[in-house]
Amino acid sequence: MNYAIFRSEPIYTISDLSQIGAHNRREKTKYNSNPDIRVEESYRNIDLVPLDCKYVKGFRQLTKEYEKQHNERMKTEREDRKRTYTQMLNKSKNVVADELLFTATHKFFDNMELADIYEWANTCMDFVYEDLGYKKEQVLHATIHLDEETPHVHCVVVPLIKKFDKRTNTERYTISKKQYIRDKIHLSELQDKYHARLVSRGFDLERGIKGSDNKHIQIKEYKKITRKINHDLNVRNDRLDKAMSNLEYKMKTNKTIPFDKKHVIVEKDTFDSMNNVINESKKVMELQPKLEKVFKEVDKQSKDYNLLKYDNKNMQNEIDSLKEKNYELQKENNKLKSYVEAILRAIKQFFRKILLHGNEESKELTKGEIIDYYDKKDFNTQDVFHISKGTSKEDELFDYVNIPNKYKTYDRSQYKSRDDYGMRL
């Protein structure tokens, strides 16, 4: 069976984008990390969406309005928060681009004409535009690699969109992969659509088992078979060696062989040894094609499996990157929590001072603010107790948050000049 393969690889930094560009556009003279690349055949690669410059430069051109928006915002930003466009992109929780990889298991491309490969690749691009929803101006570069064992398409997209910003009440640029691939469930649905599109165009491919590690299992099985055939081959080679040694010994010790023009006379033992050599040779020769066939199949399957290993490596890199981002976000979150707690403490003290020393109008307004903070869960019952204890708004606020009557102050005169939080619950 031949399987349709579609993967999405997020690109998180400008540096990563540059490296991927160098690989996809074959800007290196050697690829020691990937011996499958035949650089001498790279001229056969076909650009579906050409790019006449390096990836980073093309990215800057594609996102120039986003960069302009960022630079304008930085003009009014505090000095310690100013970031260059590249720094902002690298530190962002969003991707800078997304690499879409399309291919199939190796046998699918066996004996396929270039025109058919080109049609398959264009079907992949139709999926990018019609099913994923990218516009042509969002595609940085797309190419068919024909200089490796298995043809495949690399399509690098920049999910640049305009999104409504509630804070500024305006539409602003941002880069968001989730606008096109929301999560793993959505990705699986898209893989279904990709398979259906290929089949509708006449390409005989299977969807594949969702979430399976089928290729890995096949590799293990082939290794088992290979070990078995190798063992059999070694046994038969040993038997052939013994038979040959025995025949050589017989020939050396044999009496002079009488012969004429038509016949050769040999001893029966020697004749039997000759027959044994012939039989053992035949057995070895019978096994050789089987072993060759298995080795070829293993080689093809290994290449397909290497694609999955590449995918797994990228997934692990993504996980590591997310872990690092999560750690940074936690630190930032803890810092923000500290700021918020400090601000809330100041607000509580401010509200209490108003309830103790303000006029009736300001006290009434403050009471409303306290209730609002409580409803939003910024204040809890204990906060309301501390703020209002011993003030003229104590009864109303205690009743609102259900503080028991036993905590109410009966002689309020002693609290009029106090500027503290009173008793604790």
| Contacting residues for 9 by C-beta, under 8 A, at least 6 apart | 98, 99, 100, 101, 311, 314, 318
pLDDT at position 214, please?
Answer: 44
SS3 252: helix
Q: What is the mean pLDDT of the chain?
A: 81
As a whole number of angstroms, the distance between CA 12 and CA 213 comes to 27
User: 160-165 and 170-175 as β-strands: parallel, antiparallel, unpaired?
Assistant: antiparallel
d(CA 228, CA 403): 81
Is-contact 88 70, C-beta < 8 A? yes
Instruction: Work out the number of other CB atoms within 10 angstroms of the CB of residue 284.
Output: 15
pTM for this structure?
A: 0.52
Give residues with Cβ within 8 angstroms of 175, minimum separation 6.
63, 66, 89, 92, 94, 95, 96, 97, 158, 159, 160, 161
* Mean pLDDT to the nearest integer, 73-80: 90
| pLDDT of 143 higher than 50 | yes
Model confidence band, residue 409 (pLDDT cutoffs 50, 70, 90):
confident
Per-residue model confidence as pLDDT tens digits over 165-186:
887 888 999 999 999 999 989 9
More confident position, 257 or 161: 161
Looking at the DSSP bridge assignments, the partners of residue 182 are none
Contacts of 422 (CB under 8 A, 6+ apart): 385, 386, 389, 390, 409, 415
DSSP string across 227-244: HHHHHHHHHHHHHHHHHH
- Residue 115 CA to residue 153 CA, distance in Å, equals 15
- Cα(230)–Cα(379) distance, integer angstroms: 75
pLDDT of residue 343: 84
Give 67's contacts (C-beta < 8 A, 6+ positions apart).
60, 85
Report the pLDDT value the prediction gives residue 217, as an integer from 0 to 100. 41
Domain extents in the chain? 4-212, 216-297
Summarize pLDDT for 14-29 with one digit per residue, the tens. Answer: 999 999 999 999 988 7
**What is the three-class DSSP state of 30?**
coil
Identify the weakest region by mean pLDDT among 50-59, 136-145, 217-226, 327-336: 217-226
Q: Hey, what are 115's tokens?
A: 């025109």
Tokens for 404, please give them: 């028991």
| Phi-psi sector, 202: left (phi>0), alpha (psi -120 to 50), beta | left
Determine the pLDDT at residue 226.
57
Report the distance separating Cα 366 and Cα 394, nearest Å: 12
Q: Which CATH class is domain 4-212?
A: alpha beta
**Separation in Å, CA 18 to CA 157, 313, 403:** 14, 18, 62
β pairing state of 97-104 and 4-11: antiparallel
Contact of 159 with 180, CB cutoff 8 Å: yes
d(CA 213, CA 190): 19
Confidence of residue 422 (pLDDT cuts 50, 70, 90): very low
